[in-house]
Amino acid sequence: MAPLPELLTFAAVGVFAQLVDGALGMAYGVVSAAMLLGLGLPPALASASVHYAETFTCGASGISHLLAGNVRRRLFWSLVIPGVIGAVIGAYVVSHVPATWMRLVLTPYLIGTGVFLLLRNFRGGGRPTSIDAPRSPPPLGLVAGFADAMGGGGWSALTVTTLVARGATPRMVIGTVHLAKCVVSAAASVSFLVHMGAPHGTAVLGLISGGVTAAPLGALFARRVSPRTATLLAATAVLGLGLNNVVKALY
């Protein structure tokens, strides 16, 4: 049985990541993975734990969007097929690269993601949204799936922002991306299971319990906390880990 303090620590990570995701509609994976790395988990194990948890959390969210009519089949398949391929490749790479090297490789990704989140605060509203069922650019799902498996997150940040910037209806994008994320996470989880064996059970259980507990609070958090504040929290966590990796590499 997992020690209670350790379980509560991972649950707290799940709560924080879920609240940020509730306010932004993205960043659950990259925030939780960054915090797991900060707690000392190897990159592959951190990413695997996040994807095991996201298979359940995104599954519930994706099915809810499907029932609400927020999913478009054409967009779903154009994302999920290359996304699965990218996730399987990413899981293989991160599982076979030494942890020290992987941290160095992930450092630019984490810093870049943190900067990207900060820049979202200063961007304009973009052009009007009018495309109900957009097509996904062919490389988008592949790149997003690969980056997501490598870094433990980034699927929504890459797909949602790209598609909305192309003029797609936000609710259709978010619903379809969440359902596709469930399938991509499941594929990454199977790949991690094959290459690494059993996951870090305490981390997975903590992330799921924390995320489920915080899910009802997500809407309230989104109403009470401005997206700028939530973005700043997420960017600070991700940037902090990236800079910490830089410091460790220098000493």
- Please state the domain count of the chain: 1
Q: For 136-159, what is each residue's pLDDT tens digit?
A: 677 889 988 998 888 777 788 778
For 40: left if phi > 0, alpha if psi spans -120 to 50, otherwise beta; the answer is left
Gap between the Cα atoms of 31 and 23, Å rounded? 13
Gap between the Cα atoms of 19 and 167, Å rounded? 27
pLDDT of the residue at 216: 66
Q: For 19-53, what is each residue's pLDDT tens digit?
A: 777 666 667 887 888 888 888 888 888 888 888 88
What 8-state DSSP symbol labels residue 136? P
In percent, the amount of the chain with pLDDT more than 90 equals 11
Token pair for residue 88?
């399987």
Instruction: Give just the sign of the alpha carbon dihedral 181, 183, 187, 192.
Output: positive
Phi, psi of 168 (to 5 degrees): -80, 155
Higher pLDDT, residue 241 or 76:
76
Instruction: Give just the sign of the alpha carbon dihedral 131, 137, 142, 143.
Output: negative
DSSP labels for 145-210?
Answer: HHHHHHHS--HHHHHHHHHHHTTB-HHHHHHHHHHHHHHHHHHHHHHHHHHH-S--HHHHHHHHHH
Alpha-carbon distances of 108 from 66, 181, 228, 243, rounded to whole Å: 35, 23, 23, 9
Domain limits for position 24: 4-250
Q: Does the pLDDT at position 251 exceed 90? A: no
For the whole model, what pTM was predicted? 0.74
What pairs with residue 168 in β-bridges?
A: 131
pLDDT of the residue at 247: 66
Alpha-carbon distances of 102 from 90, 192, 218, 242, rounded to whole Å: 12, 15, 32, 12
Q: Considering the chain, what is the average pLDDT of its residues?
A: 77
What 8-state DSSP symbol labels residue 40? T
pLDDT of the residue at 95: 87
pLDDT of the residue at 82: 95
- Beta carbons of 155 and 177 less than 8 angstroms apart: yes
Question: Among 80, 76, 30, which residue's Cα sits nearest to residue 168?
Answer: 76
Angle between helices 43-67 and 28-38 (to 10 degrees): 160
